[in-house]
Amino acid sequence: MIREFICVLCPNGCEISVELDENNSILELEGATCQRGGEYVQQELFAPQRNIATSIKVIRGNMPLVSVRLTDAIPKERIFDVMDEIKKVKLEAPVNLGQVIIKDVLGLNRDVIATKQVLRK
């Protein structure tokens, strides 16, 4: 079986084509311009990870929302669990850039942090 991937580990965005056997072992890999491309494909095949970028409502702020993200990617299958935790949060201005909004969310060793500043109006 042939599968196609786009490596997201750097801005090059290499288009990688892999031939897999029945156990998803890589028989042949083309298109990666460095070794990390193969590592990325292995991770996508066996333990895909994603980050979250979303926003949270802020009351009494000069903007109604603050953008947030995780400090690092988490297993893809936990994305909806973490989104549920983020939805429970209510913030009041001010919110500082880099402020930890949820520490060690769901014990995943990742924090939810603000990626913008919202001042009090």
Residue 41 binds ligand SF4, judged by CB under 6 A: no
| Binding-site member from 32, 70, 82, 114 for ligand SF4 (CB under 6 A) | 32
Residue 112 binds ligand SF4, judged by CB under 6 A: no
Q: Tell whether the torsion through CA atoms of 68, 107, 110 and 43 is positive or negative.
A: negative
Residue 9 binds ligand SF4, judged by CB under 6 A: yes
Residue 33 binds ligand SF4, judged by CB under 6 A: yes
Residue 14 binds ligand SF4, judged by CB under 6 A: yes
Closer by beta carbon to ligand SF4, 51 or else 62 = 51
CB of 59 to ligand SF4, least distance (A): 41
Residue 10 binds ligand SF4, judged by CB under 6 A: yes
End-to-end CA distance of the chain: give it in Å, rounded: 57
Q: Which residues bind ligand SF4 (CB under 6 A)?
A: 7, 9-10, 12-14, 32-34, 36-37, 40
